């Protein structure tokens, strides 16, 4: 899974981008109020652990 696919999935789950940082984006889940960072390296594959954690934070998993 690429970063772009993961961000699309997170956005579809209702989370939104709070702000751009230098190399990461800060996302927020409005349902829980939890914030989390997603790296902004669009062409790279997402490590399995990060993909699983991001889905959990977004409430997808």
* pLDDT one digit per residue (tens) for the chain, 61 residues: 899 899 999 999 999 999 998 899 999 999 999 999 999 887 789 899 999 999 999 988 6
Whole-model pTM: value is: 0.84
Domains of the chain: 3-58 (3.30.920)
Residue 28, pLDDT score: 96
Place of tokens 């997603």: 38
């Amino acid at each position: 899974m690429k970063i772009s696919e993961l961000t699309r999935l997170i956005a579809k789950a209702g989370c939104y981008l709070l702000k751009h940082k230098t190399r990461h984006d800060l996302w927020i889940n409005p349902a829980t109020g939890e914030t989390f960072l997603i790296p902004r390296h669009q062409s790279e594959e997402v490590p399995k652990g990060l993909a699983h954690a991001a889905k959990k934070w977004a409430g997808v998993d």
